[in-house]
Structure 1
Amino acid sequence: MRLLLLACLRARTGNATTAARIRDHLHAAGHTCVLKDAFTYGSPAEIANLTSTDEFDAALAIHLYKAGRLLQGSRIPFGIIFGGTDVNEDIKCREKCQVMGAVLQEARFAVAFSVEMKELAAAEWPDARKKIYVQSQGIKTTPSETFDWYRFLQNADWHRKDPSVHLGIIGPAVDPLFSSEVKEEVKRLPGVHVLQELPQQELHAALRRCFAVVNSSTSEGMSAAILEAMDLDIPVLARNIPGNAAIIKHKETGLLFSTPQEFVMLSKSLMNDPIMEKEITTRAKDYVRKHHSWEGERKTYQSLVLRLQ
């Protein structure tokens, strides 16, 4: 089949990485999968024109609202992959919720990254429950062997007391205004650094030089960055929100915090307890291998896409 995969493809973001991984799974099964950035299209009519002139047989979309809405009324069958924004944020907006419900109704199948995500969606759209499959993100880390880079860890007051402690903030500037505000604030915070995004292999190599990976998001679907850190034997400290708590068991496979003070306390306890660090990273790696198999993800998508024939 010739498949269209619509997603938000900002370079080196989670969405782009997930889309590329799914494309590779489908290519391995002999399909042709073409990635297109959802942000470059304004309406279903534009996608309808694309699919008719480029002769696509079927389509996939990551995010019901951001990408899936462009497939409404499509002449070709399609499947949908939930994004965290769908069930954590967009579902709160009545207009977006209605659009997502309509997209879900048309889709042949939908994929949620976790049981919790499926249940949130099924509670809002109960008629779609039977078409929602659960497939966690598949993880395979391949750190560069030649990349030589290190620095990172926590907050400014801590850095003043212990200059060896750094916090590195790394990734693309998705929101230019917010990014500029962060950079201005960081200028006043010794030990905190804003760093440019890196190719995935170099990022994985950088993570291996860190003591821990921090996820401070207030909204997550399933953080691949957390799972990649687990696979790389790096302890994770993450904000205690549903998306993170779904993949981290506190003090077993990582540490969950709710306040800055709790974050500092847990970080210090981790730094001072090498036995706890080793136990957490060992259990976390076992968890990723059992529940986030890259091979299992490949089989699922290769099977589901046959429903679009």
Structure 2
Amino acid sequence: MRLLLLACLRAQTGNATTAGRIQDHLEAVGHICSLKDAFGYENPSEIANLISAEKFEAALAIHLYKGGRLLQGSRIPFGIIFGGTDINEDIKHEEKHRVMGAVLEEARFAVAFTEKMKELAAAEWPDARSKIYIQTQGIMTTPSATFNWKRFLQNAEWHRREPHIHLVIIGPAVDPQFTSEVNEKANRAPGVHLLQEIPQDDLHAAVKRCFAVVNSSISEGMSAAILEAMDLDVPVLARNIPGNAAIIRHKDTGLLFTDPQEFVQLSKSLMNDPSLERKIVTKAKAYVKKHHSWECEREAYQNLVLKLQ
């Protein structure tokens, strides 16, 4: 089949990485899968013209609202992959809620990353329950062998007392205002370093050389960064929100914090307790291997897309 895959494709973001992985899964069995950036289109009529021009036979979209709304009224069958923003944020807005319900009604199937995400969606749109499948993100890490971590580190109260402690924030600047605020605060905090996005294999190498990975998001669907750290044998400290708590058992496969004070306390506990670190790393690795298999994800999407024929 000729497949259209709509997603938010800002470079080096989780959405772009997930979309690229799904594209690879589908092309591995002979489909032609074309990735298009949802931000490049304003309305369904533009996508209808694209479908006609490129003779797409079916479509997938990541995010019920951001991508799915563009497939409304589509003349080809389509499936939807829930994003965290759908359930955590967009569902709160009346018009977005209405649009998402209409998209879900048209979709042949929908994919949720967790049981919790499915239940939240089914509570809002009960008639769609039977078409929502659960498929966790599949993880495969490939650390670069040539990445030079030291060139990024120069010389927060914690850092002044313990100069070997550094916090490195890596990623693309998506929201200009928020980026400006982060830059301003980071510039006043010795030991905090901001880096632009880097290739995934370099990012994996960087993570591998860190003592721990921190996820401080206030809204998550399923964080691939957390899962990648687990696969790389690196402990994770994450904010205690539903998306993170769905993949981390506190003091078992990672550490969950609720405020900055608890973050520091848990970080110090992890640094001073090698047995806790070993336990978390071992159990997290086993969890990823069991529940986030790249091969299982590949098979699942290859089977789901058959519903679009």
TM range (shorter): over 0.9
The equivalent of 1:195 in structure 2 is 195
Residue 181 of structure 1 deviates from its aligned partner by: 1.4
C-alpha distance in structure 1 between counterparts of 2:227 and 2:208, whole Å: 13
Amino acid across the alignment from 2:301: Y
Residue 150 of structure 1 deviates from its aligned partner by: 4.3
TM-score (norm 1): 0.98
The equivalent of 1:278 in structure 2 is 278
Report whether the alignment pairs 1:98 with 2:98: yes
C-alpha distance in structure 2 between counterparts of 1:278 and 1:196, whole Å: 31
The equivalent of 1:74 in structure 2 is 74
C-alpha distance in structure 2 between counterparts of 1:151 and 1:270, whole Å: 26
Residue 86 of structure 1 deviates from its aligned partner by: 0.2
The equivalent of 1:300 in structure 2 is 300
- Runs of 5+ in structure 2 lacking a partner? none
The equivalent of 2:121 in structure 1 is 121
Residue 196 of structure 1 deviates from its aligned partner by: 1.0
The equivalent of 1:211 in structure 2 is 211
Residue by residue, what CA displacement relative to the aligned partner does 1:176-233 show, whole Å, maximum 9, x if unpaired?
1210111011111111111111100000000011000000000000000000000000
- Runs of 5+ in structure 1 lacking a partner? none
Residue 301 of structure 1 deviates from its aligned partner by: 0.2
The equivalent of 2:225 in structure 1 is 225
C-alpha distance in structure 1 between counterparts of 2:201 and 2:117, whole Å: 29
The equivalent of 2:40 in structure 1 is 40
Residue 30 of structure 1 deviates from its aligned partner by: 0.6
Q: Are 1:88 and 1:220, in contact at CA under 8 Å, matched by a contact in 2?
A: yes
Residue by residue, what CA displacement relative to the aligned partner does 1:125-178 show, whole Å, maximum 9, x if unpaired?
00000000000000000001111214899xx11001101001011100001121
The equivalent of 2:11 in structure 1 is 11
The equivalent of 2:64 in structure 1 is 64
Residue correspondences, number: 307
- Greater than 4 Å deviation, 4+ residue runs: 150-153
Q: Are 1:235 and 1:254, in contact at CA under 8 Å, matched by a contact in 2?
A: yes
SS at match of 2:3: strand
* 1:152/1:274 CA distance change after superposition, 3 Å: farther
C-alpha distance in structure 2 between counterparts of 1:261 and 1:184, whole Å: 22
C-alpha distance in structure 2 between counterparts of 1:135 and 1:151, whole Å: 39
TM-score (norm 2): 0.98
SS at match of 2:296: helix
C-alpha distance in structure 2 between counterparts of 1:248 and 1:150, whole Å: 30
Q: Are 1:150 and 1:209, in contact at CA under 8 Å, matched by a contact in 2?
A: no
Amino acid across the alignment from 2:73: G
Residue 244 of structure 1 deviates from its aligned partner by: 0.1
The equivalent of 1:289 in structure 2 is 289
Q: Are 1:152 and 1:166, in contact at CA under 8 Å, matched by a contact in 2?
A: no
Q: Are 1:152 and 1:210, in contact at CA under 8 Å, matched by a contact in 2?
A: no
Q: Are 1:150 and 1:210, in contact at CA under 8 Å, matched by a contact in 2?
A: no
Root-mean-square deviation (Å): 1.1
C-alpha distance in structure 2 between counterparts of 1:146 and 1:189, whole Å: 29
SS at match of 2:141: coil
SS at match of 1:194: strand
C-alpha distance in structure 1 between counterparts of 2:91 and 2:150, whole Å: 40
SS at match of 1:248: coil
Amino acid across the alignment from 2:42: G
The equivalent of 1:142 in structure 2 is 142
